Amino acid sequence: MANLHSDGTAVCLDGDVLAATLRRQMAARATRLRAIGVTPKLATVLVGDNPASASYIARKHADCAEIGIKATDIRLPAKTSQAQLLAHVAALNADPLVHGLMVQLPLPAGLDDDAALAAVDPAKDIDGLHPENLGRLLAGTPGLLPCTPHAIWQLLRHHQVPLKGAKVAIIGRGPLVGRPLSMLLSMRGIDASVTLLHSASRDIAEATRAADVVIAALGRPGFVTADMVRPGAAVVGVGITYGDGCSMVSDVAEDVASVAGHVTPPHGSVGPLTRAALLQNLLEIAERGLPG
Ligand SMILES: Nc1nc(=O)c2c([nH]1)NC[C@@H]1CN(c3ccc(C(=O)N[C@@H](CCC(=O)O)C(=O)O)cc3)C=[N+]21
């Protein structure tokens, strides 16, 4: 098996390394934009004090500082009303100096995630989760791509994992990852043959054992085990569950590395690339001269 290391362990699909490369490429793009008088600018909206959400937002802002993207960090109390939240989104939509914005999910109880996604101007929708952008992906004419699916595609492409005609088993049909990823990878030009598995699927292991690529995005620690993986297959763990203390546990069990050809590391890999994909969308908007 050509894709295995000589000691029989899988090649590491390391998102940290690729994300650092992508940030350097983005820094060069930001420099070129500033040279023509465009300062790329992000706005994030965080409602409440979910510690995981606060940590992701802090990392997005640190990435912006490193790349040379201006960023505004809007924090609203958990008791914010739907109308107040939508007023903040409308103001950012209308601000010609803001190229892209996102509302961090999940919102606290009482606020509507879908309504918040739909309120973002689709031309500034760096999450790629507005119904118009999801609809364009479904139609095969994508606009801004959803970040985690784009991250996973870039990770597989970077490591030259073949997708054309390949059997790809995706576990999890959520709106942020599994479902849009199934649309992306089955697009003309990428040409994977996708099986979308979920909690009501029978014989998940049978489907994953037949797959060239297994992508676990369900949020169940250690769900994909070595016996579910064909030797030499590529395995991507997306879901991360916070264990004791600050440990992070992947949807992919550690024993998978002894069977797979490629595998994401146990501490996760897709998160830093998801942040990179968000800022790639932002720079694309700024380069198009849109919308301001
Ligand atoms: N509107 C919206 N857009 C999102 O893109 C979005 C969202 N809501 N809600 C939650 C999920 C989750 N998500 C992550 C992003 C980065 C890491 C990440 O960078 N993780 C680091 C460390 C994380 C840590 O230490 O807490 C890592 O994997 O190494 C993880 C998860 C984006 N999401």
Ligand 1 centre distance from Cα of residue 94 (Å): 26
Q: For residue 49, is pLDDT > 60?
A: yes
What phi-psi label fits residue 140: left (phi over 0), alpha (psi between -120 and 50 degrees) or beta? left
Closest CA to 229 of 250, 207, 209: 209
Query: Tens digits of per-residue pLDDT, 242-265?
Result: 877 678 889 999 999 999 999 999
Closest CA to 215 of 246, 258, 260, 248: 260
What pTM was estimated for this model as a whole? 0.95
Query: Tens digits of per-residue pLDDT, 89-129?
Result: 999 999 999 999 999 999 999 999 999 999 999 999 999 99
Four-CA torsion 41, 45, 50, 53, nearest 10 degrees? -30
Q: For residue 204, is pLDDT > 60?
A: yes
Four-residue CA torsion sign, 48, 53, 57, 58: positive
Query: Which residue do the tokens 């973002």 mark?
Result: 120
Q: What is the mean pLDDT of residues 284-288?
A: 97
Query: Tens digits of per-residue pLDDT, 183-199?
Result: 999 999 999 999 999 99
Query: Tens digits of per-residue pLDDT, 206-251?
Result: 999 999 999 999 999 999 999 999 999 999 999 988 877 678 889 9
Q: For residue 3, is pLDDT > 80?
A: no
Closest CA to 274 of 91, 137, 145: 145
State which amino acid sits at residue 291.
Answer: P
Q: Is 173 annotated as a binding residue?
A: yes
Residue 49: active-site member: no
Q: What pLDDT is recorded for position 244? A: 72
Ligand 1 centre distance from Cα of residue 42 (Å): 16
Mutate to test the pocket of ligand 1, among 13, 14, 56 (most ligand atoms within 8 A of CB): 56
Q: Mean pLDDT, the chain, as a whole number?
A: 95
Q: What pLDDT is recorded for position 69? A: 98
Q: What pLDDT is recorded for position 5? A: 66
Q: What pLDDT is recorded for position 267? A: 83
Q: What pLDDT is recorded for position 2? A: 46
Could you tell me the domains of the chain?
A: 11-15+145-268 (3.40.50.720), 18-142+273-287 (3.40.50.10860)
Distance CA 41, CA 187 (A): 31
Residues with CB under 6 A from ligand 1: 52, 55-56, 59, 102-105, 127, 147, 268, 271-272, 274-275
Distance CA 238, CA 171 (A): 10
Query: Tens digits of per-residue pLDDT, 67-77?
Result: 999 999 999 99
